[in-house]
Structure 1
Amino acid sequence: MTDLADRRGAGADVYQPAEDTHLLATAAVGELDDPYARVLDVGTGSGYVAATVRDETGADVVGTDLNPFAVRQAADRGVPVVRGDLVAPFRDDAFDAVVFNPPYLPREDDTRDDWMDVALSGGDTGRRVIESFFDAVGRVLAPDGVVIMLVSTLTGVDEVAAYAGDRGFSAAAISEESFPFETLTVLKFRR
């Protein structure tokens, strides 16, 4: 009974697929056409993006997430997943592509009291986790590897591209969708 109760509660603790998730998954599938690609889905959440990329491209996809409930949901979806922070659990040059739907909502009060706060809050600018990601992701990318990331106008698309540029990445927009309160852009980064 406890396991069933844990599973019922886990849905509220894991970010579920929404407009941003679908936009990122569709863009990633469109960019990743190599069935031999090794792909990492950072902050995999429910595992939707990882499973979609795997199923649509045939790529070898693994996910990572800090949230133990997310790790369980992604595994239930058949996604190999590791509990860990960003790219820390992986060896150098391990991936041809890294996909990321980061926590990007700007919040003055950056208390992260529950797993949904961790999944959504990007600090006062919305870029705290994104910047930590770009400080680390180059290590796990293969020499010709790419990063495919969703960014919101709430976070600052130009600011994210500039930060990544300072770490040796160039950015190109590959997909975009506008909503009343924000525009979501999927960026592809190369070194």
Structure 2
Amino acid sequence: MVTITYRNANINLDEQVYDPAEDSYLLADVAIDNAKKGMKVLEVGAGTGFVSAVLQENVDVDLIATEISPIAATCARSSGVEVIRADMFNCFKPGPMFDLILFNPPYLPTSEDEKVPGWLNYAFDGGADGRDSVNRFIDEVPGHLTRNGIVLILISSLTGIEQVKERMEACGFEVDTCGSDNCFFEELIVVKGTFLAQKLDPAKTRS
């Protein structure tokens, strides 16, 4: 394993797990800006645990993470992140448990011949339009947020920013953009949603 340091946090890396890149650093910085002491925080799909490790090193939060890959989960635990091996929220009963939920999803549009073998594919494969995991997250996350709870989702300009925002609004979120970074062929954006529990629009969430 190789260890890197960012904002006083030491994070262990594994060659079989997606390394932190511009998206990870951006989400970690925005998470620190939005987290408050004592918040109950969940990171979905923690990967190496980079974002969670950096956040809990800089803000006194009550944090737990989920991760589907057993290799990534072990890697994140080695950096001091409490991880449950799970597929998004399937280890939790519905209920207002978290004040802040973070998600750096597989957001790149991916065709069948672009898939990679093994667990690493979960870090990249966003489906044909890049929104397979994003849409599922948006639909399921309201059941786990406190009122006025916050979600921070890292997406790419290739993913369809307006479509993501519209789906979040249909699920009861007040939506804003709170961080961005231009890199290579895309713009990375952190979309912030504040859960207001307004009346949902089923037609939009099914689209």
Same fold (TM over 0.5): yes
Contact 1:170/1:189 (<8 A) preserved:
yes
Question: What does the per-residue CA deviation read over 1:28-78, in whole Å, with 9 as the maximum and x for residues that have no partner?
Answer: 10111x211000010000001011111111111111000001110111011
- The aligned amino acid for 1:71 is A
- The aligned amino acid for 1:120 is F
Among the aligned pairs, what percent are the same residue? 35
Matched, 1:41 2:43: yes
Query: Residue 100 of structure 1 corresponds to which residue in structure 2?
Result: 103
2:18 to 11, 15, 19: 15
Contact 1:134/1:167 (<8 A) preserved:
yes
TM-score by length of 1: 0.91
Contact 1:13/1:114 (<8 A) preserved:
no
Which structure: greater helix fraction? 1
* Rounded Cα–Cα distance in structure 1 between residues aligned with 2:150 and 2:90: 17
Question: What does the per-residue CA deviation read over 1:118-174, in whole Å, with 9 as the maximum and x for residues that have no partner?
Answer: 111100000000011111111111112110111100101111111112211121010
Bigger mean CA offset, 86-95 vs 136-145? 86-95
* Rounded Cα–Cα distance in structure 1 between residues aligned with 2:41 and 2:168: 19
C-alpha root-mean-square deviation of aligned residues, in Å?
A: 1.5
- The aligned amino acid for 1:46 is T
Query: Residue 81 of structure 1 corresponds to which residue in structure 2?
Result: 83
Which structure: greater strand fraction? 2
Instruction: Report the secondary structure of 1:13's partner residue.
Output: coil
Instruction: Report the secondary structure of 1:190's partner residue.
Output: strand
Corresponding pairs, count: 182
Query: Residue 7 of structure 2 corresponds to which residue in structure 1?
Result: none
* Rounded Cα–Cα distance in structure 2 between residues aligned with 1:69 and 1:81: 12
2:157 to 148, 153, 159: 153
Matched, 1:120 2:124: yes
Correspondences of 1:179-190 after superposition (within 5 Å): 179-190=183-194
Instruction: Report the secondary structure of 1:73's partner residue.
Output: helix
Bigger mean CA offset, 112-121 vs 79-88? 112-121
1:139 to 131, 137, 143: 143
* Rounded Cα–Cα distance in structure 2 between residues aligned with 1:105 and 1:125: 8
Unaligned runs of 5+ in 1: 5-9
